[in-house]
Amino acid sequence: DVNQQLDKKVNVSDMRKPASDVAGIEEVNAKQDKLTITPADDSKVAHLSGANNFDTVPTVKNNPLLLASSLPSDLARTGQDANFTRKLQKSGVDVATTSDVTTAVNAITSNSINWTSLSVDSSQISDTDYVSNQANCSYRISHNTLYVSGQYAMIGNGISSHTSEILFKLPTSIVSQISFPSTNKFTIGFLQPLTQQISMMPFNLTNDGNITCFTNPHDLNTTYNASLAPGFINAAIPLN
């Protein structure tokens, strides 16, 4: 009711301070007159626009800022050519120069184009054991891979001394870069005797660099009863 609401009111007299705690107008003016306010020297204030001339080097977290006059004279600038007398690196790795790139491109191009021919190993094979215009083998190295390609047509020979299976031989410098499997050889092609019901026979590259065939002229004639066995060589072998 009304009486209850009146009990909750705040009397103006309750908000008053004792007279001893209230400063008069004269006292306020007297204290204000004693305040000394010195305007800032505009020449010593940093402005957001325009040039600012500091008497001392500005600091950020107690670290002095680098002045333009302190920059080295040989500092590379984005708008100018830079001549580096020392090597340039990225993450600790030397950056390739134009000369480096040219050398690398020439090496890749050279390897990709040049093939080296291998001659039939005459110390192992007689010229009567193969068709001369169908006995060739070449190799090249490109992108750290050895490519071998060729053909070989073996002639059956009933003479017992014609038993060599070695046809060609790769240079030792190349063979030393090959990691051979536990069999110590890679199959690089196949030979097909011209008789019925005989499977194709593999050409292999062995870990001593020899390119061999599964059979030989004597066995081709006497065991497989074939007078001719043409075949192909085509392989790509990764180098170390």
Model confidence pLDDT, tens digit, residues 181-219: 999 999 999 999 988 667 899 999 999 999 999 999 999
What is the domain partition of the chain in residue ranges? 116-238
**pLDDT band of 60, cuts 50, 70, 90:** confident
Residue 90, pLDDT above cutoff 90: no
CA distances from 14 to 18, 19, 23, 64, 146 (A): 10, 13, 19, 59, 105
**Interval 7-38: pLDDT, tens:** 666 566 655 666 666 677 777 777 766 667 77
pLDDT at 167: 97
pLDDT at 109: 59
CATH fold, domain 116-238, is Immunoglobulin-like (2.60.40)
The pair of structure tokens assigned to 99 is: 């000369």
pLDDT at 112: 53
Mean of the per-residue pLDDT values of the chain:
84
**DSSP letter at 119?**
-
Residue 111, pLDDT above cutoff 90: no
pLDDT at 15: 59
Residue 104, pLDDT above cutoff 60: yes
**Contact between 209 and 180 (Cβ < 8 Å):** no
Burial of 13 (0-12, 13-18, 19+ CB in 10 A): exposed
Q: Measuring CA to CA, which residue among 162, 156, 160, 135 is closest to residue 226?
A: 156
Tell me phi and psi for residue 75, to 5 degrees. Answer: -65, 135
